[in-house]
Structure 1
Amino acid sequence: MKHTAIYARVSTSEQSHASQVPDLERWVETHSGPIVHYDDTASGRTMQRPGWQDLEANIRVGKVAQLVVWRLDRLGRTAAGLTALFDELRQRNINLVSIKDGLDLSTPAGMLMANVLASVAQFEAEVISERIKAGVAKAKADGKQWGGSKPGRRKVSQEQLQVIKQLKLNGTPVTRIAKAVGLSRPTIYDVLRQG
């Protein structure tokens, strides 16, 4: 018997699926039939994720009737990967519903919107990456050196604080911020907690 697949993903172990769960649960309450949940904690830049691979295997053997996600970027962040997925789902007569995006692949308008959103997701990922590189380049040009604090003591420069806060405002994950400024994730969390 075919089921509806509910897929949730976060990028890092510091993040939680909690923000996605209420909307997904509300959707489940208004729909009938068997439902199977698939979860991942992995980057959206790759489709090589354990939960996704289980889901994909069930798609390929014809066990999935519909795929429901909280937002389209939970599926992935590359336009090529998402567009290929949309085509595969349509070929297999599997509908895709993205709750927050108001997307339904069963319509031509929904398919057009899905492709536009896939391009936007990739664009956002590239912009974040460019901002990180620009922040690091500026700090280096200003003569700042990062990383290598002694145990028990962390030294965070004013420039690092500014870059950390700006990247966080832009929605950059803590792991990527830590890499960009050359500090540990716990240090980034301390900085963000202190405001």
Structure 2
Amino acid sequence: MNIRDIMRASPVMPVIVLDRVEDAVPLARALVAGGIRVLEVTLRTAAGLASVKAIAAEVPEAIVGVGTVTRPEQFAEAKAAGAVFAVTPGLTEELALAAKAAGISLLPGVMTPSEVIAALGWGFDAMKLFPAEQAGGLGMLKAMNGPFAEVLFCPTGGVTLESAPKFLALPNVACVGGSWLVPKDKIAAGEWHIVTQLAREAAALK
């Protein structure tokens, strides 16, 4: 799938950190039930890649990708596990080339105008502003829209249910990344109905 289509499929892209593979499928089903189909499963834990594989196999309605990709070989591993997109916290030429070689859609992380220019040079016009709040938040995105009107952003880092609508109202923002949909205590307790309710609130955002 094209990364811009993926970004527009849900107003919020949950940033998912899983410690147990067995939580992956019920969590994905709970999010999809609430109207959130795009799922970024981070590779911050040992359960990440296996969780992607489980979701891809058992929750076909989900658009599952990997996040926190920092090493070139992870793109091919993610593609083999069934991921359709990848998200990085930053971008190097090595990562850009590896993503293209793996044939996986990439949402690269940027924080500064120089990094946006570099990403454009490598052929990317959709990017993750990360960490969004620390990078200047709404003000930074408004400023970026002048010289980089062709770039579509997904601000991630410090975004909340309350601040998300302000980001989504900007012309250069397609979606936001957020971890508030997937609270670790609710996942650990298996309280999937609460995750579905959080997803429903997020899916209603404009």
Q: Greater relative contact order: 1 or 2 (C-alpha under 8 angstroms, separation 6 or more)?
A: 2
Question: Which of the two has higher C-alpha Rg?
Answer: 1
Relative to total residues, which structure has the larger helix share, 1 or 2? 1
Tell me, yes or no, whether TM beats 0.5. Answer: no
TM-score by length of 2: 0.29
TM-score by length of 1: 0.30
